[in-house]
Structure 1
Amino acid sequence: MRQRVVRVALTAALVAVVLLATPLALVIRSSLYTAQRDSLERAALAGAVRVSPDFATGDPVELPSPPRGGRLGLYDPRARLRAGSGPATGDGPVRRALGGELVRRGAGGQVVVTVPVSHAERVIGVVRASSPADAVRRRVLVAWAVLLGVALVAVFVAVLVARRQARVLAAPLEGLSRHCEAVAEGNLSQRADGSSIPEIDQVARTHNEMLDSLSELLRHERDFTANASHQLRTPLAGLQLALEAGLGQDDAAGLRPVVSEALATTQRLHRTVEELLRLSRSHGWAPSSAAYVPAQRLIEETVERWHGLFAREGRRLVSSADDVLADVRVPGGPVSEVLGILLDNARVHGRGTVRIRTRDLGGALAFDVTDEGSIEGDPARVFDRGHSGGGSGTGIGLALARDLTISFGGRLSVTHTDPTTFMLLLPVDQEGQEDQDDRDGQGGQENPAR
């Protein structure tokens, strides 16, 4: 690119020099020849003034000094040289001047000016001034050499400026090219630097915005893969245990509870996958009316689902509600996932009895999940993805719980480190509750008619 910019600038400079220097060279040549003729004309006129009408009878004539390097002579009507210097017999310009015409022309390698001398309305002589044309030509060549030197300097300066501008233009583009190569090799953390050129800065900004979007998309995809692996691990293990237990049953009556449990687990897996897909594809939660469930029923289903896992480990899971309204509804899918993550975290990393306490805060609903363990270190770091607190975990669950909570406008925090207590805070929209109740009531009236 740098060479192309220099070539373009050099071509433009050469075209400009040719278009300007050629007419200027012609003007200089014409001006120098005109100036020489004007000088000869002034000398000839000065000599004509000094010619007396009696010079033909022998009266001597004193002509002024000729121009530098030239000659000045007086000719009679017969074209003979009578005074000064010049050809002994008048040439063409002298004969034309005898006809009463002032002549300015070149002849025989000379620049010649002839001025007629008149008396009593007739020409009595001619004053001829001349100088070598070579002298004028030399001045023309000198002037042209100076003009050529100026043109070469102008072209040289144009090349220097073009090289500098080429560096200015090419440097950010070369940097952007290196940046793109780094991105192509997989380094998505690279960002293009700005420059002093608005157009290139706009390209860099657009490129960086594209990388931000691409990085965010890839992060969502990676998070979805990790979240799905983390969230499906426990339900799949439970499903496997249930199916293995069913293989040991010989009668159909014993298989029915196992199949029912497997079906319920499959439905929970389906809801989990839907929640993870929603989280990975959207920036917020826009639930349908059917997505809200009563808070009390949600807690009862959660305790029922997790009670067996804690019981097999010799631990208790209890729940309590402090004046929670029966008609308070919450987003069922995401809240169930968050509570499941908190309970699984308490089962794996906590100790003793696990308690779920539901509190109505007036405009908000709080779920406290407490176990008899403790948190060491900075409690805020437990929500960082990849941070497992030095244990055997993957550091995914609590980060996922935080993202799910934020997606539906809630807040998840650690309220106590000993004993470990997590609080899930949900805003409650009273108008939305009333609208949901109205829809449920209408649905209940329409069902019998079907």
Structure 2
Amino acid sequence: MRQRVVRVALTAALVAVILLAVPLALAIRSSLYADQRDTLERAALSAAVRVSPDYTTGDPVELPAPPADGRLGLYDPSLRLRAGTGPHTGDTAVRRALSAEVVRGRPGGDLVVAVPVSHAERVIGVVRASSPAAAVRDRVLIAWAVLAAVCALALTVAVLVARRQARVLAAPLEDLSRHCRAVTAGDLSARAAHSSVAEIDQVARTHNEMLHSLTELLRRERDFTANASHQLRTPLTGLQLTLEAGLAQDDDAGTRPALQEALATTRRLHRTVEEVLRLSRFHGLPRRPAPDTPVSQLLRETEERWHGLFARDGRRLEAGALETGDDIRVLGAPVTEILGVLLENARVHGRGTVRLTARDLGEAVAFDVSDEGAVDGEASRLFDRGRTGAGEGSGIGLSLARDLALSLGGRLSLTGRRPAAFTLLVPVRGHEPEGG
């Protein structure tokens, strides 16, 4: 930003200096040469007035002093030098001046002005004034050097002013950038400071207002999630206690399995509520560590939970781990929730046999959930909140699963359309021996 402002200002100043300096340099050159010619012409005219018609008969001629570094001479009609200094024989300028015209020229590297001397309507001589052109050229070079120094000074001042203005313009933008990075890091209380630039202040005010609105929206959503979770946990806890008491008192072999399944379901629902609450509190911020679970145990528990649901629909669920050992662990609760969303999606929208497998990728584990159905629509919008494939449900499941995967540092993606397949990548935690 700063360098760009300096470059723009320097380019503008350079163009202005060139457009001004080049014509001015040419004008200085022309003016100096014209001034020297005028000086020579005045000297020649002054000498011509003093010339007496009797000089041809030997009357002495008193010419004025020649210009500085110049020569002044009187020539008769036969081109001979009769008085003053100059070439012994008149040159082309003297010969042309005998035609009763004032001649200006630069023969032989000198500036020359020849003025005719008239008497009784005839030319009786010519006064020739000259000076070296090199002397005028030296004056032109000196003037150009001064002009170049002034231009350099102007460009230096322009650069200094541009750098100061660049600091004035860039400082509030850099501050706004630091504020945005702080917001990205999770500091929603950061606010952009005011500056001396009205346009940037307007952007900062708009940004602060937008951030305030977003903060209030997030606060309301998190408060709602916390309130809903709190209100759900209380009846769930009571329901668990009631089921546990019923199991302790009921010895009927027919109702006991149903009570055990209901108790397990309420416990899973309780964990789901806790995981959703955790996600709402720590979305985009450093998360608290969750308990580790071996992949084999997680697959076994998931199959036990979902096998009966698929069996009641007349479908099969096949679960197995490929090349994974008991020392491969993942964050159990959120991974269980994500796999639950994928299996529920396959149960509702898929068809045929559903397969759940795990692959060891070294630093990550890939969970694949596939069925014999197909996925239609754009893959980029499949995980959008509120989008559902068959018009059933609220369209929150896949979006929630994707957010849970991101909170783990993993990724959830669609890897197949026909047949439908989803892949969850999550980082693993190796087993650490106790006391080690």
Deviation at 1:100, TM superposition (A): 0.8
Pair 1:60 & 2:35 matched: no
- Normalising by the residue count of structure 2, what TM-score does the alignment of the two structures yield? 0.55
* 2:42 is equivalent to residue 42 of structure 1: yes
1:230 matched residue in structure 2: 230
Range moving further from structure 2, 91-100 or 217-226: 217-226
TM-score when normalising by structure 1: 0.54
Q: 1:31 offset after TM fit, Å?
A: 0.4
Equivalent AA in structure 2 for residue 217 of structure 1:
L
Quote the Cα distance in structure 2 between the aligned partners of 1:146 and 1:42.
29
Q: Structure 1: any 5+ residue segments left out of the alignment?
A: 251-450
Letter in 2 for 1:96: R
> Equivalent residue for 1:10?
10
Q: Does 1:177 align with 2:177?
A: yes
User: Counterparts of 1:123-272 in structure 2 under 5 Å?
Assistant: 123-238=123-238
Amino acid at match of 2:181: E
Unmatched segments (≥5 aa) in structure 2: 251-436
Q: CA RMSD in A?
A: 2.9
Q: Report the equivalent of 1:72.
A: 72
User: After the TM superposition, which residues 83-102 of structure 1 pair with which residues of structure 2 at under 5 Å, given as runs?
Assistant: 83-102=83-102
SS in 2 for 1:60: coil
Task: Verify: 1:111 aligned to 2:111, yes or no.
Answer: yes
Q: Separation in 2 of the partners of 1:73 and 1:147?
A: 37
Q: Point out 4+ residue stretches in structure 1 off by more than 4 angstroms.
A: 237-250
Matches of 1:113 and 1:146 in 2, distance apart? Answer: 29
Shift, 1:203, TM fit? 1.4
- Corresponding residue SS for 1:118: strand
Given residue 19 of structure 1, which amino acid in structure 2 is its aligned partner? L
Amino acid aligned to 1:5: V
What are the superposed Cα offsets for residues 357-387 of structure 1, whole Å, 9 maximum, x if unpaired?
Answer: xxxxxxxxxxxxxxxxxxxxxxxxxxxxxxx
State the match for 2:122 in structure 1: 122
Q: What is the CA distance between 1:147 and its match in structure 2?
A: 0.2
Identity in percent: 78
CA displacement, residues 383-417 of structure 1 (integer Å, 9 cap, x when unaligned): xxxxxxxxxxxxxxxxxxxxxxxxxxxxxxxxxxx
Looking at structure 1, the residues matched to 156 and 245 of structure 2 have their Cα atoms a distance apart, in angstroms, of 92
Structure 1 residue 242: Cα displacement? 6.5
Structure 2 CA distance for aligned equivalents of residues 19 and 101 of structure 1: 39
Report the alpha carbon displacement of residue 247 of structure 1 after superposing the two structures with TM.
8.3
Q: What residue is the counterpart of 1:430 in the other structure?
A: none
Q: Quick one: which amino acid aligns to residue 28 of structure 1?
A: I
For 1:111 and 1:244, the matched residues in 2 are separated by: 123
Q: How far has the Cα of 1:233 moved from its partner?
A: 3.5
Post-superposition offset of 1:117: 0.7
2:44 & 2:56 partners in 1: Cα distance? 18
Cα offset, 1:244, TM superposition? 7.2
Distance 2:234 2:108 in 1: 116
* One-letter amino acid matched to 1:12: A
Aligned to 1:29: 29
